[in-house]
Structures are given as structure tokens and as C-alpha cells.
């Protein structure tokens, strides 16, 4: 089945996780602007931590990360056949119980961290606690100085987040997506699996450890998503609803953008002052 027949314009059905950016991203600061704010925040945190008797080095925020290619979606399950063949319906980014009874995870761990009194004092100063004179510690103080905390900022962030959530929810309930999901179900039936939706496949009675049946099902699932262009169709609809939400709620979105630019201006002033000693 061609996803274009549903009225949703889909490109490259073989791409499991579309990389295009949400229309809402245009309302956020750019990655470069955000790095300016993060660098200024580090400067303010370092000053605050020094006053509390601690050294804080911060991080390098100058490198802009490239888009992440996802092979799993918490709502839709496996997206890449190769990953699905290895991980089944498990999220590959969280620990899973293997056939040998051992928990495995992509990230290594050096064992439990035993927190010392010095560690607690550092964290109290950094993020705050009942013993810290600063609400939110030095991190919270830096956010406040840059205008990225408090009722106005939180209200603006929550308003835009709600708009995007409502738009994305509407996309998932759009009948046009339902047609693509039915095409996915037909594809799965052709492979010998009877599921009406990807969520039904995800919630099947899989065991705690991986077995060949789960891996084979997940592999077919991801292949069928690619074949019918499910994730591209979903993204097309999400972007359609998001553009509409932005257009109908321009004052809310503009307010969010204005507060972001105000924070950027404050951050640039902090860095300029730091550069001149």
C-alpha cells in the first residue's frame, strides 16, 4: 500500500525514524544560541560555587550535536529491523534481562556510587537542599539570573509544551493515520502475525527474557513500519497539526520566543563581562 493514498504525504518509506524538525523548533532558540545561554549559566554557577567553597568547571557547550536517529519509540515500538532482531520489543536504551539471566544495558556502570559528606555538600550547593540557603542551589540561582525560572518563564514553557502535546495527540487520532496503521496490520498478517496496532504487538505476553519468537515478531513489525511508511505518515500529520496550532496561538508562541531572546541577551552580557575580567 502506498501511504500517499491516505492523504498523508510520505517520503522515503525506508527511513524508520524521520529526522525533520518539528515546526515548534523554529520557535526555540537555535542550538548556537542555546549554547551561549548554557555557557553563561556555567559562568554564574562557577561564581556561586566558588563563593560556597567549591570548584565547578562546567561543560563544553560549543559543539552542536547532530540529529539522533532513533531505532525505538516508546509509543510505537521498534523502528529499525536490525535493532528489533537483537532487542525484540525491549527499549535498547534501558537494561534488559538476557537469556543467561544477566541484565544488560548499552551503557556500562562502574558500580554503586557511595556518597561522601563532601559529595553531599557539593550537591547541596549545586542543586540545593533543605540545608542550602539558595532554592535550587547555584544552578537555580543561575537560571533565575538569566530569566529561565519563575512563574513567567514556566507559564510560557508549559503553554507551548501543551500546544505541541495537543497537536501531536490529535495527529495520532487522525483517521488518515488509522489507514496507515491498518496497512501495517495487513503487512503483519502477510508475515503471519495478527495484530491490529503496533501497540497491541508491544503489549503481547512477552517473557522477561528475549526469545526467538519475540525477536522475529519485532523484526517483522519494524519492517512493516518501513514498508507502509508509518513513522513518516505520523510525522507528516504531527507537523500539520503543529503548524495549525502555532498559527492559531501566535501570541502564546511569540511570548515564549521573546522570553528566550531576553535570556539570550542576559547570557551575552554575562559572557562579555567575563571576557573583560
Residue 101 is predicted with a pLDDT of 59
Residue 63 is predicted with a pLDDT of 56
Residue 13 is predicted with a pLDDT of 38
Query: What long-range pairs does 71-77 form, CB within 8 A, spacing at least 24?
Result: 71/16, 71/17, 73/17, 73/231, 75/172, 75/199, 76/198, 76/199, 76/225, 76/230, 76/231, 76/234, 77/198, 77/199, 77/201, 77/202, 77/218, 77/221, 77/222
SS3 233: helix
Instruction: Give Cβ neighbours of residue 12 (< 8 Å, ≥ 6 apart).
Output: 229, 232
Residue 99 is predicted with a pLDDT of 59
Residue 37 is predicted with a pLDDT of 96
Question: Which residues of the chain, if any, have pLDDT below 50?
Answer: 1-17, 66-68, 106-113
Residue 69 is predicted with a pLDDT of 54
State how far the Cα of 234 lies from the Cα of 178, in Å rounded to an integer: 10
Residue 141 is predicted with a pLDDT of 94
State how far the Cα of 27 lies from the Cα of 103, in Å rounded to an integer: 41
Nearest C-alpha neighbor of 140 from the set 154, 153, 126: 126
Residue 58 is predicted with a pLDDT of 84
**What is the pTM assigned to this prediction?**
0.77
Residue 61 is predicted with a pLDDT of 72
Q: What is the pLDDT of residues 169-216, one digit of tens each?
A: 999 999 999 999 999 999 999 999 999 999 999 999 898 788 999 999
Nearest C-alpha neighbor of 270 from the set 148, 146, 147: 146
Amino acid at each position: 500500500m502506498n501511504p500517499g493514498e491516505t492523504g498523508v504525504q510520505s517520503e522515503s518509506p525506508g527511513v524508520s525514524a524521520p529526522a525533520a524538525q518539528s515546526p515548534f523548533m523554529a520557535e526555540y532558540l537555535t542550538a548556537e544560541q542555546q549554547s551561549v545561554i548554557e555557557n553563561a549559566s556555567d559562568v554564574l554557577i562557577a561564581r556561586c560555587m566558588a563563593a560556597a567553597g567549591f570548584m565547578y568547571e562546567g561543560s563544553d557547550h560549543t559543539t552542536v550535536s547532530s540529529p539522533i536517529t532513533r531505532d525505538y519509540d516508546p509509543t510505537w515500538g521498534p523502528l529499525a529491523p536490525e535493532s528489533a532482531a537483537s532487542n525484540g520489543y525491549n527499549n535498547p536504551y534501558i537494561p534488559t534481562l538476557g537469556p543467561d539471566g544477566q541484565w544488560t544495558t548499552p551503557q556500562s556502570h562502574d558500580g554503586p556510587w557511595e556518597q561522601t559528606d563532601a559529595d553531599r555538600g557539593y550537591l547541596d550547593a549545586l542543586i540545593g537542599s533543605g540545608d542550602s540557603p539558595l532554592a535550587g542551589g547555584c544552578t537555580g540561582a543561575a537560571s533565575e539570573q538569566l530569566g529561565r525560572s519563575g512563574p513567567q518563564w514556566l507559564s510560557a514553557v508549559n503553554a507551548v509544551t501543551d500546544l505541541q502535546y495537543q497537536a501531536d495527540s490529535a495527529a495520532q487520532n487522525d483517521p488518515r493515520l488509522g489507514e496507515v496503521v491498518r496497512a501495517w496490520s495487513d503487512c503483519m498478517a502477510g508475515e503471519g502475525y495478527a495484530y491490529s496496532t503496533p501497540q497491541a504487538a508491544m503489549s503481547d505476553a512477552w517473557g522477561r527474557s528475549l526469545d526467538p519468537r519475540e525477536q522475529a515478531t519485532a523484526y517483522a513489525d519494524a519492517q512493516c513500519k518501513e514498508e507502509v511508511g508509518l513513522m513518516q505518515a505520523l510525522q507528516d500529520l504531527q507537523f500539520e497539526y503543529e503548524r495549525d496550532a502555532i498559527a492559531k496561538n501566535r501570541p502564546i508562541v511569540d511570548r515564549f520566543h521573546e522570553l528566550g531572546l531576553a535570556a539570550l541577551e542576559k547570557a551575552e552580557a554575562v559572557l562579555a563581562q567575563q571576557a573583560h575580567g
